[in-house]
Amino acid sequence: MNAPDPRRIVDLSHPIRAGLVTYPGLPAPVIAPHLTRADSRAHYEEGTEFAMDLITLIGNTGTYLDSPYHRFADGPDLAGLDLASLVDLPAEVIDARGLGTRGVPAAAFEGRQLRGAAVLILTGWDQHFGTPGYGVDAPFLAPDGVAYLIEQGAALVGIDSLNIDEVVPGGPRPAHTGLLAAGIHVVEHLTRLGELPRSGARFTAAPPAIEGFGTFPVRAFATVARA
């Protein structure tokens, strides 16, 4: 008999499907067959068939990671990221629900062990994902929070909301600018953060190694020790 797995794995990603609207105004993914199972039968022995499909999507689809290249032309692209900075990071979950302000301030992070950690901001906004309300008055990381996370040496910052920045047409993007300039990865549109402990989980979010590309969906997940 196999020993029980001492870990519990929590999927923190939104599933991607054809027609999914992640970010209002950006195109939805299109999924279509390249080779259907029926057509594949002519290429293989009897009883053998395969499906081969095409997907067209913008990198900002579902739960995705931003590399420095997303913001800076000379920053590392997806293929240039060190896997050690994306895999099995200590996770610090910051519960920002009930703060009474959309911008999550530096005070929300004080007293936590953030150096080298994946700092995951729980806002509860993921309940609106895939609805028109998701893009209206969404929570974000306040500028003083950005400065604090850089100072404290976070490895990655994630949020279960529309954007790490406040979305103002033509406005600044201090979180993307500051975090990515410091080599701190950004993961947006997380979900189920409320199922994680404040500390002690391990976080992973690794995108494909695509050259010349700055943003792509990830299968973000956390491992949690069973009680």
Which residues are CB-contacts of 64 (< 8 A; sequence separation ≥ 6)? 22, 187, 188, 189, 207, 215, 216, 217, 218
Its pTM surpasses 0.85:
yes
Q: Is 147 helix (H, G, I), strand (E, B) or coil?
A: helix
80/209 Cα distance (integer angstroms): 7
Per residue in 16-42, pLDDT (tens digit) is 999 999 999 999 999 999 999 999 999
Per residue in 194-227, pLDDT (tens digit) is 999 999 999 999 999 999 999 999 999 999 998 7
The residue extents of the domains of the chain are 15-56, 64-225
Q: Which pLDDT does position 162 carry in this prediction?
A: 98
pLDDT > 70: percent of the chain: 100
Cα–Cα separations (whole angstroms), residue 68 to 140, 180, 209: 19, 5, 14
Residue 7's pLDDT band (cuts 50, 70, 90): confident
Q: Which single residue is written with the structure tokens 């979010």?
A: 205
Per residue in 99-150, pLDDT (tens digit) is 999 999 999 999 999 999 999 999 999 999 999 999 999 999 999 999 999 9
Q: What are phi and psi of 64, to 5 degrees?
A: -135, 160
Closest to 143 in 3D by CA, of 177, 187, 182 = 177
Q: Which pLDDT does position 1 carry in this prediction?
A: 63
Q: Give the CATH superfamily of 64-225.
A: Putative cyclase (3.50.30.50)
